Every structure is written in C-alpha cells, then in structure tokens.
Amino acid sequence: MMGAGLFLSVIFSGDVMASVAANQVFAPWNDPKETPLIEFRGVTKRFGDFTAIDDLSINIYEKEFFALLGPSGCGKTTMMRMLAGFETPTEGEIILAGQDIAPVPPNKRAVNMMFQSYALFPHLSIEDNIAFGLKREGMPKNDIADRVAEMLRLTRLEKFARRKPHQISGGQKQRVALARSLAKAPKLLLLDEPLGALDKKLRQDTQFELMDIQEKTGTTFVIVTHDQEEAMTVASRVAVMDHGKLMQVATPDRLYENPENVYVADFIGDVNLIEGTARKTGEGSYEINWCERTPPLKSTSDTVLSSGQGCTIAIRPEKVSISSEKPEEADNAVQGKIIDIAYLGNLSTYHVKLANGQMVKAQTANTRRISRRSFTWDDDVWLSWTATAGVLLKG
Amino acid sequence: MKRLLIAVPYFWLLALFLVPFLIVFKISLSDVALARPPYFPQWQFEEGWSALTDYLRALDFENFWFLSTDDLYWKAYLSSLRIAVVATFFTLLVGFPIAYGMARAPLEWRPTLMMLVILPFWTSFLIRVYAWIGILSGEGYLNQFLMWLGVIQDPLIILNTNVAVYIGIVYTYLPFMILPIYSALEKLDESLLEAAEDLGCSRFTAFWLVTFPLSKQGIIAGCFLVFIPTIGEFVIPSLLGGSSTLMIGKVLWEEFFNNRDWPVASAVAVVLLLILIIPIILFQRNEQKNREAEG
C-alpha cells in the first residue's frame, strides 16, 4: 500500500505545483533575495559522547510547511526541541527572524509546539486549555474569549469547549492540541509526530486538515515525522535526516524523482538499486557495466562521473515495463523469471530474478481483470526501461 | 461463595470495630463505681429478662453533660484540633519538597529513596520518640551541637514544650504525607510542564498552574492521613510535651488510669470519634473523586 500511496501523493503534489504555477510558484528557497525565517548555521548537538546533530545547516522560509523526516534516533526531534528552546546547541547558532535564539528561554519565544503526547492539561477544560497561553500574555478577557472561539471554530471543536481532555476522543485531543498551540499566533509552529497516535483513516483526513489550517493561518509549520507518506503529503519541502546529518532537502517530487544519494533513494518509496561501474559515452550519458556476459545499461545523468567510477542506478518500479517478448526499441532490456507477485488492487508489483541473481521490481497498473493477467509465477519475462528512467548515483 | 467472601471484611469490621465501639458507648452511659470493672450497671445474664429493664433504666447521658460543663474538655478538644492543624501544615511544608524531589529523581534512585522514607517504620515507634528526647533535651545532641558551633550560649528549652510535640508529629507522620503526594507527582507527565513553558509560563508559574493543581488530590489525602491520627495522638504529647501541652489523648489516658473514671473516659472517646467522623468522610470523598478522575 505504501508504494501506491506515495504514487498518489506525488501525483497530488504535482497537481498543486501545476495549479499554483498559473499564478506564482511558492518556492522562496529558490529566490536568493528571500531571507529565511529560520537559519541553522553549523549546528551541532552532543549528549555526552553521542552526537545527535552533526554540523547541520538549513534554511526554512516563512509560510513553509517543512518536514523533518527520518528514522527514530536520526536527530529530528532534537532539532525541533532546539527550536522550541528545550535544548541548546553545543556549537553553531540558530537564527529566528534575524535573531540568535540561543539565549531566549522557551516561554519568551514566538514559537509554539504541539507535543507528540498532546500534553493537554487534564485539570482544565478544552477552552481553558486553548486560553492557557493567551492568559499568560495578559490579553484582555474579551479578546481571549474571541480568540478561543475562533480557534474552536477553526478546529471544529465548538461542541466540546466545556469538556475535560479525558472526555474526548484521540482525534479531538489532537485538534485541541493544535488549537492551543495556534492560539498565540506564533511565527513558527512545531509539530512533533502530530498524527502518530491516530489510526490510518483519521490520519489521512487530518493531514489534509492540517494543510488547510496551515494555509488559512499562514503560519510556518515545521513537522517532525518518521512517516514518509505523511511528510510527502503535507510538506512543501522535506529534509531527510540520518544520524544527525541532512541527506537531502527538497520538494517531495524532487526527493522522489531526483534523490541525491542512495540513502534517500532507498528511504523514500520503493526502488531498484543496481550497482556497477560507469563508462562515459557522451555529454551526460553513460554505460554501466553491472554484470558480466550481459550488455551494459544505458543511463543519462546530471551527476558527473568519471569512467571506471563505481555507481548505482536507482529506478522506481513503476518506471520498469514488463513484457513477454524482448522489446525492440528499449534502451535497456534484461531477462528474468517472475518469483513473486504483490497484488495491491490497483497495481501489481512483479519481483523478477535476473540471471545473476539480482532482484528487480516492476510495477504495472491492473487495467485488466485479474483472471486475464498476462503473467504469472515462474514466467520468463523481459524488463525494460529508458535511459532517462533511472537516476545515476555515486557509490 | 461470593457472599462468603464479602462477609469476611464485614465480619472483621463488626468484630473489631463495631462491637468494641458499642461496649465503649455503653460504658460511657454508665456511672462510675468502686468495683471491678469500675462502673455500674453490669449486665448479668443469669438474672434474666426482668433485670434488663432495670439495667437500661440505669443508663443515662450524664457523662456527656459533664463533658460540656467542665471547660477542661472543651479546651483539650480545641487544643488538639489546633495542634493537629498546625502540625499537618508543617508536615506538608516538609513533605512536599521531599516528595517533589523523589518524583524528579532519576528513575533508578526512586526505589532507594522510597525505601529510605519507609525505613523508620522498621523500628519501634516508641523507641524513635524516645530517641527525640535524647536529641532535644537540655544536654541533648542538638544543644551540644549548637553550643559547639557557638550559635547559642545557653541550651535551648525545647523538650516538654509544644515545639517538641510539633517536631515529634512532623517526624512521625512524614511518610503518610510524602507517599500520596509522591504518587500524584510521579504520574505527572513531564511534557505538561514543557507545554506550560512553551505557552509562556516561567518555571514558577508552570509549577503553580500545572504541578500544584495536579498534585492537589495527593496533598489532600496526605493532610487527612496526618490530621486524623494526630488529633487523638497520645504518645508524642505525653513523652515530648510539657504540662502545658493539652491534648485530648492525654486527657483520655488520665481519666482511665489516674482517675479510674471509665464512664467519663469512654464519653471522651465517643466524642473524639464523632469529631473524627467529619474529616474521615471528607477524606473518603476525596479518594472517591480521585478514582473517578482516573477512571
């Protein structure tokens, strides 16, 4: 299902890009005149011997929905806690709206956080939870009531205003936590695994709700998640992290289509990785020797490789065609035997074993009824893809 | 089988609380007599039913009336209440920081700290109170230490004053205060305090607006657990207190053993119980609310 979901979300974000492009593309990261809202400058964070964040620099712009994505322990939560003020960087500095925030305590920052556990105050009603931050600001009573009512409306919680947190469902708690953190109209909202505790269906609905609210309020959101589907769905840009380092920062479609390294290619979605050595055949085109006694694979690449350099071709399964006869015009064609078929309803993924033992996955849309499927287990088939289908990566 | 199981605690309550109470109540309605046991009337089974009416006729509320006329008893009750309130307050003042420190201590230390709180129970209560005499007396360790430091020239008179009684009560009942507060604080999610700070609270306001209200049930439970037994306390005021320390437990003891007036002593005990019923009911209600909030 993951592959299918990703596929859809890529189409979806492509759609958004297209519709926005008619007016103006939201891409402040490409505009050198734009000043970022948040700048991490060579930030390192160590806990004793353990380096959680390793010399990391990143720019996040106003109105962005920025996702920090990575496996647990990659340092994404530490980054968020440094933004909130619960941790201070060991080295480097964090600039928020032109100001170094290291000496600013959490209660003086124009940053609010939505906690993974929601951290709703159990002794206060929903409306008092939302009003909590406003009261600390010393806002006049009438203004507080107005702002709370506005937040309740935004998160569709009007009916639950007087209940206590233990009297509402998980999805409602999540919305209360969001309303409470948005009430003070922060410059920056941090969301720590905001949907982690919800079930799948509710999570998907809530993702769109989050995007909607982000757009309405115009607040900059930074979300921490380990769920790539979630990050790809909601975020304008995603930072993939591993072991305290940034692996790549890009829009969801670029992450998927143009991963910069094997880690990102492998982490985001489903991918075939074929290792070999490159030989330059022209400007930006290469032949890759990957197996003896078989013709080399052709691939174009923006990455400059020298002849004889080790490399990896990353090809998405949906970009690999499957056929019973050897296709005439294909740039690359390899023969193999079907070992496994993963039937996903709308799609089928064929796991094909090549002569040298390499497994390659090919995905096709199920345009016919299953009884009329052309291939089955142990069939000998040809897999083919164009020279531009794959991404050539170093190493 | 199920009924039998339920019957066990009820039987226990009947045999060990209700029956003794009824006996005490009956004695409180009797008159003092030079006999053994020292009160009249006595119920004799062999005299049969006819004697029962005579027996019942002899019972009256004279002793309770006597309690209300002699202001010694009123003063003793009021003084006990005052001492219990003040001592409970000081126990809370000492106990809360200890419970807070325990709940914030690293996880691997907590069992040890808990053990240290409970440890004094392994020694006899009486011996521990006697030990305080050795510390607080004129030539006691405390005075020796303070004089050695040069803080004071003449020994402080602490023993046989109300101060010594307060010290003894706070020391003795501290675990009853610490444990319920600790159990409330330990359940407190750390991220609630971070959320409060994130929303603009200083550390202190976060404590006042989040930690304190969420430990309130523990504080109330701890206060009742100290207050209720302190009112009737006898050993501590009689060992550490002076002649001016007036507590109802002491009065009760003197009526029983010095005056040998069992009926009046029993009346004192019955009134004490009636006074204690109010805080006990309040305590039960607090516990009930606690359970409902968790459920």
Q: Quick check: B198 and A106 CB within 8 A?
A: yes
Asked if A136 reaches chain B (Cβ–Cβ under 8 Å), the answer is: yes
Chain A, window 175-194: residues with a beta carbon less than 8 angstroms from a chain B beta carbon: 180-181, 184
Predicted pLDDT of residue A3: 43
Query: In angstroms, what separates the C-alpha of A137 from chain B's closest C-alpha?
Result: 7
DSSP state of A115: -
- Give the rounded distance of the alpha carbon of B254 from its chain centre: 19
- Start-end of H helices in chain B: 2-13, 19-28, 50-57, 62-69, 71-104, 110-118, 125-136, 141-149, 162-186, 190-198, 203-206, 212-231, 235-240, 248-253, 262-294
Query: In angstroms, what separates the C-alpha of B179 from chain A's closest C-alpha?
Result: 21
Omega within 30 of 0 (cis) for the link into A89: no
Q: Mean pLDDT, chain B, as a whole number?
A: 90
Instruction: Specify whether the CB–CB gap between B160 and B168 falls below 8 A.
Output: no
- Start-end of H helices in A196-281: 200-217, 228-234, 252-257, 262-267
Contact list in B for residue A86 (CB cut-off 8 A) is 194
Chain B interface mutation, best of A77, A101, A104, A132, highest count of B Cβ atoms under 10 Å: A132
DSSP helix/strand/coil, B193: helix
- Domains of chain A (ranges, CATH numbers): 2-110+186-265 (3.40.50.300), 271-394 (2.40.50.140)
A320, B109, B179, B211 from B102: Cα distances, Å? 62, 8, 10, 14
Query: In angstroms, what separates the C-alpha of A222 from chain B's closest C-alpha?
Result: 15
Q: Show the tokens assigned to B200.
A: 């603009």
Instruction: Specify whether the CB–CB gap between A111 and A85 falls below 8 A.
Output: yes
Contact list in A for residue B209 (CB cut-off 8 A) is 132
Amino acid at A54: D
Query: What's the pTM value of the predicted model, to 2 decimals?
Result: 0.79
- Domains of chain B (ranges, CATH numbers): 19-60 (no CATH), 70-294 (1.10.3720.10)
Predicted pLDDT of residue B75: 92
Percent of chain B at pLDDT above 70? 99
Q: Quick check: A117 and B196 CB within 8 A?
A: no
- Ramachandran angles phi, psi of A267, nearest 5°: -75, -40
Query: How far is A84 from B119, CA to CA, in rounded Å?
Result: 42
Q: Is pLDDT above 90 for A328? A: no
Q: Is pLDDT above 60 for B268? A: yes
- Residue B294's pLDDT band, with cuts at 50, 70 and 90, is low
Alpha-carbon dihedral A48, A50, A51, A53, rounded to 10 degrees? -90
Q: Quick check: A107 and B194 CB within 8 A?
A: no
Dump pLDDT digits (tens) for B46-90. Answer: 777 777 888 888 888 889 998 888 888 999 999 999 999 999 999
Asked if A149 reaches chain B (Cβ–Cβ under 8 Å), the answer is: no
Asked if A45 reaches chain B (Cβ–Cβ under 8 Å), the answer is: no
Is this complex's ipTM strictly greater than 0.90? no
Predicted pLDDT of residue B50: 76
Contact list in B for residue A192 (CB cut-off 8 A) is none
Instruction: Specify whether the CB–CB gap between A64 and A219 falls below 8 A.
Output: no
Q: Is pLDDT above 50 for A8? A: no
Residues shown for chain A:
395
- Residue A189's pLDDT band, with cuts at 50, 70 and 90, is very high
Query: In angstroms, what separates the C-alpha of B6 from chain A's closest C-alpha?
Result: 33
Within 10 angstroms of residue A207's Cβ, the number of other Cβ atoms is 20
Chain B interface mutation, best of A113, A121, A176, A187, highest count of B Cβ atoms under 10 Å: A121
Contact list in A for residue B201 (CB cut-off 8 A) is 107, 136
Predicted pLDDT of residue A61: 94
Predicted pLDDT of residue A16: 46
Nearest to B197 among A106, A121, A123 (CB): A106
Contact list in A for residue B199 (CB cut-off 8 A) is 107, 112, 132-133, 136, 180, 184
Within 10 angstroms of residue A114's Cβ, the number of other Cβ atoms is 25
- Edge-to-edge order in the sheet of strand A285-289: A297-300, A285-289, A272-282, A310-315, A391-394
Tell me the HSE value of A285 on the side-chain side, using a 13 A CA sphere: 10
Predicted pLDDT of residue B174: 95
Within 10 angstroms of residue A230's Cβ, the number of other Cβ atoms is 24
